[in-house]
Amino acid sequence: MFSFQDHRGRVEVAFTDRFGGMSGGPFAQLNLRVPEPSQAALVHGEDEDTVGENWDIVGYAMDRGAEPVGDDYFGLPGGITVKGLVSMHQVHGADVTVVGDDPLQPDPTGDGLVTSTPGWILAPRAADCVPVLVADPDHGVVGAAHAGRKGMVAGVVAQTIETMRRLGATRLVAWLGPHACGRCYEVPADMREAVVDVVPEAWGETSWGTPSVDLGAGITAQLQAYGAEVVTVAHCTIEDQRYYSYRRDGRDTGRQAGLIWVRP
């Protein structure tokens, strides 16, 4: 379920893999993809209720620090300290939403989330893009961003940090989750040039010698420009079968997530 976990004070983070959920077929097992507003009850071929059960499993596990036991899976049962899990309808942009005391219904459209309210788990999803988690453990301010090529260029990381600073964040720690690495993320030469015009550190070359974009290097540089300590989970989603990958598997694939919260 969790391929990586860490904590700094009351701030806890995790990145999921594809194991430990209820999904079947090409989505097996822990698909965390959510339907877009234009869709009805299906998540590109998978029942929305199954995906909801997967989210409940993750919420329980984050609260208790381990995988759920027996039938005590669903609905975040009594005694759990999670207020809820907040994801987004992601559009590869740079809009950031602040999550306050009240739940957001429905999940916001955008690619960044920030909160200073303990109990909310912020959960960007990805299947080759980078789930970015950021925290100021001293002041209890956390942020999360979905940063692919377009979002990186648009400045979603900077917008997330600037929003955190308006809520009082100063000293920052950031975690980069599993994503398509620069050795595998092949793009046309003109696309690479357009990216490096904005983020020079994202210049990359595949292992077979063609142009690529290095998302990890580019986003790391953006975070370090704000003085953040950066922790990278160096798993390539294209190479590593433990993760969902749109580039490897196409449209019928699931999503993993980054998860960050301030424990009450």
Beta-carbon neighbour count of residue 26 at 10 Å?
A: 16
Confidence label for 48 from pLDDT (cuts 50, 70 and 90): confident
Indicate the domain borders of the chain.
2-262
The residue with tokens 């609905």 is 75
Confidence label for 81 from pLDDT (cuts 50, 70 and 90): confident
What gap in Å lies between CA 20 and CA 18, rounded to an integer?
7
Q: What does the pLDDT average to over 151-158?
A: 98
Confidence label for 251 from pLDDT (cuts 50, 70 and 90): confident
Q: Which CATH number fits domain 2-262: 3.60.140.10, 3.40.50.11290, 3.40.50.720, 3.90.1150.10?
A: 3.60.140.10
Q: Name the pTM for this structure.
A: 0.92
Q: What does the pLDDT average to over 21-32?
A: 93
Confidence label for 138 from pLDDT (cuts 50, 70 and 90): very high
| CA 150, chain centre distance (Å) | 15
What gap in Å lies between CA 113 and CA 173, rounded to an integer?
16
